[in-house]
A = this chain, B = another copy of it.
Amino acid sequence: MPSTIRANDIADLKGTELLSVLADSAFARIVEGCLVQRLPPGAVLFEEGDRADFLYVVLAGRIALVADGPDHREAVIEIFAAGEVLIAPAVILDLPYLVSARVTEEAQVAMLPAASFRRAMAEDSAASLAMAQILARHWRILVTQIKELKLRSTTERIGVYLLGLLSADDGPQTIRLSEDRGTMASRLGMSPESLSRAFAQLRRIGVGGRGRTVVVAEPEKLRKLCRRED
């Protein structure tokens, strides 16, 4: 059940990139009609096609944007973590959601009424500038994803994904996946089985581990695999 907002939720909201720039009065107005929800994994925030009545802000946990396909297939488009703002585009344009949202990791989210958010955007220039910057970053994230889908094999896509989790260091590294492998497969546009097999491929260049743990023995080999100018 949505509940009204508490003091430390307000602090969290104030700490997000988007809302931190708002003037105090504008921030107060936004927070006014705001609801906060704690949700278990699997919970659905909204479904594709719903009217965009709320802007969601992730306060904790993780939320996946998923597109529904034929016969219960689905594709994960993007995953959001604490501090990020969800589906602003639908809210800004006052258009139905293009995707559904589902909790992948026990989450706490704030729901800001769409109309008051749009008003804040129109009245507070810092907000629209911050919004433009956030959307600009997302444009790049999505374009990168499209490039990968169109030009890279399953194995390479996994490689690129892992590289994004690696530090610049060149020694062996252990990383922790923030999603289970099934979700990761869907996000990367492949079946869980293909993911599994692609990981098997990567084993020969020193990528191991199991479950959510992945060990990359030789990051440089992985980088070489994914480098374009081969």
Contact = CB atoms under 8 A, between A and B. Distances in A.
A228 B69 contact: yes
A146 interface: yes
Among A71, A142, A145, the most chain B Cβ lie within 10 Å of the Cβ of: A142
A230 interface: yes
- Chain copies in the assembled complex: 2
Contacts of A189: 149-150
Contact of A146 (B68, B93, B129, B149): B149
Report whether over half of chain A's contact residues are helix, strand or loop; otherwise say mixed. helix
Interface string A155-186: 00000000000000000000000000000000
A216 to B, nearest CB: 22
Interface string A79-98: 00000000011101101001
Interface in A53-99: 65, 67-71, 73-75, 77, 88-90, 92-93, 95, 98-99
